[in-house]
Copies of this chain bind each other. A is one copy, B any other.
Amino acid sequence: MPVSTAADADADVKSAPVDTMCPYRLVLEHVTSRWGVLVLIELLDRPYRFSELRRAIGRVSDRMVSEKMLTQTLQTLERDGLVHRDAKPVIPPRVDYSLTDLGREAAEQVRALALWTERRIPEVLEAREVYDTRKAAAEQG
């Protein structure tokens, strides 16, 4: 695949010419995206309706995901075959989101990474303190 020039290297990922991106990188970016990670982990528990899922993510994140961003995230994961969208023909309309078998595999990998992170937070916080103290000392001395 083409390696672009340094000139556009700082551009946002969303402006990348998507068709020239390696599919592997692109899918990895979907499953590691800010909201993709949380959607996959929440759906491991059970299927969710849209607004329920939005609230569930709000509880584990530092902020609510906007309806627009959650819609985009779900569409991307659905197109990749990771999420199943089930629109029931009832009134009022009811749409359930769940993981496909493929999505469950992805979500389990993502959850393993998330659990590792959670477990290692004390070590990370300690490392940060050492780093910041050393940096402050270097700036003073």
Main SS class of interface, A? helix
For the complex, count residues of A whose C-beta is within 8 A of B: 63
* Contact present for A20 and B62 (CB under 8 Å): yes
Chain A 82-113 residues near chain B, CB threshold 8 A? 82, 102, 105-106, 109-110, 112-113
Given A3-B58, A80-B124, decide whether A112 and B112 contact each other with a Cβ distance below 8 A: yes
Chain A 49-106 residues near chain B, CB threshold 8 A? 58-66, 68-69, 78-82, 102, 105-106
Complex Cα gap A61–B58 (Å): 32
Complex Cα gap A66–B130 (Å): 28
* Contact present for B63 and A3 (CB under 8 Å): yes
Q: Which residues of B contact A131 (CB under 8 A)?
A: 78-79, 81
